[in-house]
Amino acid sequence: MPLLNRLLARTSKVGLPPADRPDLSLCWLWQGATDRNGYGVFHHRQPGTNFAHRLMYEALVGPIPQGLVIDHLCRVPACCNPDHLEPVTHAENVRRGRGVEVSRRLAAARTHCPNGHLYEDGSFRINERGPKKGRRRCLVCSRALNRKYRAAHQQDGDQ
């Protein structure tokens, strides 16, 4: 059976169109095995991981240019619709991604610091500078860290 027929046999063309991209057609959702990030994987003769969306793009559009990766315009990792796939540089793919957006949303939803102290009015500060600018800093943890630092440096001065 040719590769394209094998790929299409594991694809459902009834996926919803992306809500934030009404200009795109329906997603073709991969029904076979996926990796932990939701990308379709396909066992084929080529060594290494064969991603279904890359194989589908190559089968229906053509080779992926050297040095480029495939970007999902619909932001659905299991989508194999070649109209939703675009070859771009890795940097452009990262820039277009939602990693930062998702990280900010998850951070904003946290109700406690990593040590379990409740984030409530007056119990935290927002870092205003440095690499952690914009992040919440638990005051209970900060005070404990400051006490530990002062105690360690006070002992050094006593000797």
Q: Find the mean pLDDT for residues 121-137.
A: 86
Q: What share of the chain is helix, strand, coil (3-state, %, to 5)?
A: 35, 15, 50
Question: What is the set of domains in the chain, with CATH numbers?
Answer: 3-96 (3.90.75), 110-158 (no CATH)
Q: Are 40 and 30 in contact (CB under 8 A)?
A: yes
Q: Is the pLDDT of residue 54 over 70?
A: yes
Find the angle CA(95)-CA(28)-CA(68) to the nearest 5 degrees.
Answer: 35
Count of beta carbons in the 10 Å neighbourhood of residue 79: 28
CA separation, residue 12 to residues 8, 85, 92, 159 (Å): 8, 16, 28, 74
pLDDT band at 153 (very low <50, low <70, confident <90, very high): confident
Which residues, 6 or more positions from 25, have their beta carbon under 8 angstroms from its beta carbon?
Answer: 17, 81, 83, 84
Q: Using a pLDDT cut of 70, give the percent of the chain over it.
A: 91
CA separation, residue 153 to residues 13, 42, 106, 144 (Å): 66, 58, 37, 14
With the CA atoms of 59, 64, 70 and 76 taken in that order, what torsion angle do they form, in degrees rounded to the nearest 10?
-10
d(Cα 53, Cα 8) in Å, to the nearest integer? 11
Q: What is the pLDDT of residues 11-53, one digit of tens each?
A: 998 877 777 788 888 999 999 999 988 999 988 776 666 899 9
pLDDT at residue 140, as a whole number: 93
Least confident of 22-26, 50-54, 84-88, 143-147: 22-26
